[in-house]
């Protein structure tokens, strides 16, 4: 716990200073009695739009280490906001490649145990 507090103190020292904007708090203080929770101003008025980045006409591959292996994202840009092609390679996909060698000669009841041992998630390998 003491080391965690020291790490937090170091992180707080590195945070940049300056004003911050709490739109939700300001809105609640100004209109305590009449808040239209479903109105346009509450739902969209204070929300900031996400930045729009134009992808250059190139191929991009980014990989990130995840708990189950490498998560890869492949993009092909065409100088617009949306990529021309987007392919996500989940980490479970590479784990699934060895299944034919593992189940060869095994009984049907053993397949569930084998799939559990390599810890794949079928929902992410259907791409």
Is the full-model pTM beyond 0.75? Answer: no
Q: How confident is the model at residue 40 (pLDDT cuts 50, 70, 90)?
A: low
Percent of the chain beyond pLDDT 70?
67
Contact predicate 87/64, CB 8 Å: no
Q: What is the mean pLDDT of residues 45-59?
A: 70
> Per residue in 1-39, is it b (16+ CB within 10 Å) or e — as a string?
eeeeeeeeeeeeeeeeeeeeeeeeeeeeeeeeeeeeeee
C-alpha of 65 from chain center: 13
Mean of pLDDT values over 62-91: 86
What local confidence, expressed as pLDDT, does residue 4 receive? 93
Instruction: Tell me which of 7 and 18 has the higher pLDDT.
Output: 7
């Amino acid at each position: 716990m003491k080391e965690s507090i020291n790490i937090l103190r170091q992180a707080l020292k590195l945070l940049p200073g300056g004003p911050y904007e709490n739109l939700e708090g300001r809105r609640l203080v100004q209109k305590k009695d009449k808040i239209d929770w479903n109105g346009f101003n509450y739902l969209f008025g204070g929300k900031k739009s996400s930045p729009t980045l134009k992808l250059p006409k190139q191929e991009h591959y980014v990989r990130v280490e995840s708990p189950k292996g490498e998560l890869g994202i492949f993009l092909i840009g065409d100088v617009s906001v949306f990529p021309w092609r987007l392919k996500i390679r989940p980490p479970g996909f590479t784990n699934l490649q060895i299944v034919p060698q593992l189940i060869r000669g095994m009984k049907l009841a053993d397949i569930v145990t084998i799939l559990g041992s390599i810890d794949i998630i079928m929902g992410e390998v259907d791409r």
